[in-house]
């Protein structure tokens, strides 16, 4: 121990190096999200989050998902999802369906038109992601990024994959 310990109720401030890392993180993530939002808004008429919803639906059996499950997958609140689906429904890209087995439940269903929009938007989006991210990183960096982000995501996941086990927090 070469440094005096901080007073008990003082937080451990970030070191200069940590600050550098943290700022790079903030800059990169905000710039990237802005970029994707603008690209998708321009080319597909919706923000990135909404695009993500269509993707989830397209990947699901029968192109449908329960609202709660979709919200969980997309990491957004059910409230936000309700509003989002309302908007997508207005566009004709998604439609709601009642769940036969649980009268409280709703399915969000990707329409044919929605799939078309998605199909048209996808190439541009993938290209944008490549340009901004993958094309700039070495394979090692890509691997590293994946590991890091997985760790962070798991740490923040309120409840996923055996999270009803109290001793995991």
Partner DNA sequence: CGCCACTTGTTTAAAGTTCAAGGATGAAAC
Partner DNA sequence: GTTTCATCCTTGAACTTTAAACAAGTGGCG
The tokens for 139 are 């394979």
CB of residue 47 vs a copy of itself: minimum separation in angstroms? 13
Q: Which of residues 31-90 bind DNA (CB under 7 A)?
A: 34, 37-38, 41, 46-47, 49-50, 66-69, 76-87
What are residue 98's phi and psi, to 5 degrees? -70, 150
Mutual orientation of helices 78-91 and 48-59 as an angle, nearest 10°? Answer: 80
Angle at 84 between CA 131 and CA 118, to 5 degrees: 45
Residues in the site for a copy of itself, rule: CB under 8 A?
10-14, 17-18, 20-22, 24-35, 52, 75-76, 122-124, 126-127, 129-134, 136-137, 141-153, 155-157
Q: Which ranges constitute the DSSP H helices of 5-66?
A: 16-44, 48-59
Q: Which two tokens stand for residue 153?
A: 């995501």
CB nearer a copy of itself, residue 99 or residue 134: 134
Residue of the chain from 2, 12, 13, 103 that contacts DNA (CB under 7 A): 103
130 binds DNA (CB under 7 A): no
């Amino acid at each position: 121990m070469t440094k005096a310990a901080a007073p008990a109720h003082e937080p451990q401030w970030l070191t200069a190096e940590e600050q550098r890392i943290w700022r790079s993180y903030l800059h990169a993530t905000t710039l990237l999200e802005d970029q994707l939002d603008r690209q998708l808004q321009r080319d597909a008429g919706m923000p990135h989050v909404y695009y993500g919803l269509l993707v989830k639906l397209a990947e699901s059996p029968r192109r449908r998902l329960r609202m709660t499950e979709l919200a969980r997958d997309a990491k957004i609140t059910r409230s936000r999802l309700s509003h989002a689906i309302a908007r997508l429904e207005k566009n004709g890209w998604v439609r709601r369906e009642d769940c036969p087995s649980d009268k409280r439940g709703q399915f969000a269903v990707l329409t044919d038109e929605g799939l078309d929009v998605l199909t048209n938007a996808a190439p541009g989006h993938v290209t944008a992601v490549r340009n901004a991210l993958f094309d700039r990183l070495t394979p090692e960096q890509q691997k590293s990024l994946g590991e890091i982000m997985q760790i962070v995501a798991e740490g923040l996941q309120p409840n996923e994959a055996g999270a009803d086990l109290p001793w995991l927090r």
